[in-house]
Amino acid sequence: MRKPMLAGNWKMNKTRDEAISFCLGVSGKLPLDVECVVCAPAIILRDLVKRAPSNLAVGAQNMDYHDSGAFTGEISPIMLKDTAVSYVILGHSERRAYYNETDETVNLKVKKALEYDLKPIVCVGEVLEERESNKTNEVLKRQVLKAFEGVEIANPADVVVAYEPVWAIGTGKNASSDMAEDACKYIRDVLRTIYADKADEIRILYGGSVKPVNIKEYMSKPNVDGALVGGASLQADSFVELCNYQK
Ligand code: 13P
């Protein structure tokens, strides 16, 4: 009942022309039974929305939680809405580590995103020391409960959580599929404590060194509904392969 999702996070990569070539490269090759998404730098979103094939959704990688105002360099939810993107990544570990994103600001952003009908992809995940000291579940519980504090979810299919263990991002050291399943199942259990009847409809993705060679293994797990992919989403061929993991 949960539609699988394959979301690329391009991070700070690709110019407008590169994004357009990517669209040409994936055109006609993406499956209809997987929701395919690319989350791109804000400055190319408008062009990407225009050029993306109909079964490729577009998302942003961050946004501010104010509607407008004196926040130099920031992008508001109204501006994202104006570019017609569908998704927005919130609370990515790189934003938490380098740009002071906190559980509190993630919570404000989740509320704002939903207010403007932008579908949030909320990232959570532990750092290596936390995993090694058996604190993974504690961290996930804190991050999930705070991100969704006071958040009303009308349509659970429009809310996505991504489990991204920080130690697995961009390192080539992917979490095993059992680790991913355990964490995603735990996140769903935490979601169930807030959204009793809706938690089974919320999609939970795994992210961290996902590649065409390991995607199938993750997708075979019952609580892993998809993947959030950095490096391997940048090339059209590799993205097409990831999205077609069933073939
Ligand atoms: P990599 O797939 O490059 O490890 O990045 C994962 C990630 O951070 C996706 O948001």
Domain boundaries, given as residue ranges, for the chain = 5-243
pLDDT at residue 137, rounded to an integer? 98
**pLDDT for the residue 173:** 87
Note if 92 is an active site residue: yes
Backbone angles phi, psi at 51, to 5 degrees: -95, -15
Ligand 1 midpoint to CA 4 (Å): 18
Please answer whether residues 121 and 205 qualify as being in contact, where contact means their C-beta atoms are separated by less than 8 angstroms. yes
> From atom 2 of ligand 1, which residue's Cα is the shortest distance away?
230
Contact 56, 239 (CB under 8 A): no
* Ligand 1 centroid to residue 161 C-alpha, Å: 14
Question: What confidence score (pLDDT) does residue 9 get?
Answer: 98
> How much helix, strand and coil, in percent to the nearest 5, is found in the chain?
45, 15, 40
CA atoms within 13 A on the CB side of 137: 9
| Cα-to-centroid distance, 149 and ligand 1 (Å) | 26
Residue 98 sits at φ, ψ, to 5 deg, of -105, -15
Q: Where are the alpha helices (DSSP H) in the chain?
A: 16-26, 45-51, 77-83, 93-98, 103-115, 128-132, 136-147, 177-194, 215-219, 236-243
Residue nearest to atom 5 of ligand 1 (CA): 230
* Spacing, Cα 65 to ligand 1 middle (Å): 24
Helices 136-147 and 177-194: angle between axes, nearest 10 degrees: 40
CA angle in degrees (0–180, nearest 5) for 179-35-127: 30
Looking at the CA of residue 168, tell me the nearest atom of ligand 1: 4
Counting as low any pLDDT under 70, the low residues of the chain are: none
In degrees, to the nearest 5, what angle opens at C-alpha 186 toward C-alphas 86 and 8? 30
Q: Which of 203, 34, 162 is nearest to 26 (CA)?
A: 34
Classify residue 154 by burial, with Cβ atoms within 10 Å: 0-12, 13-18, 19+.
exposed
Q: Kindly report the CATH class assigned to 5-243.
A: alpha beta
Predicted confidence at residue 1, as pLDDT, reads: 85
- pTM over 0.95? The answer is yes
Indicate which residue of 94, 126, 164, 181 is catalytic.
164
DSSP state of 197: T
* 164 is known as an active-site residue: yes
pLDDT digits over 28-84, tens only?
Answer: 999 999 999 999 999 999 999 999 999 999 999 999 999 999 999 999 999 999 999
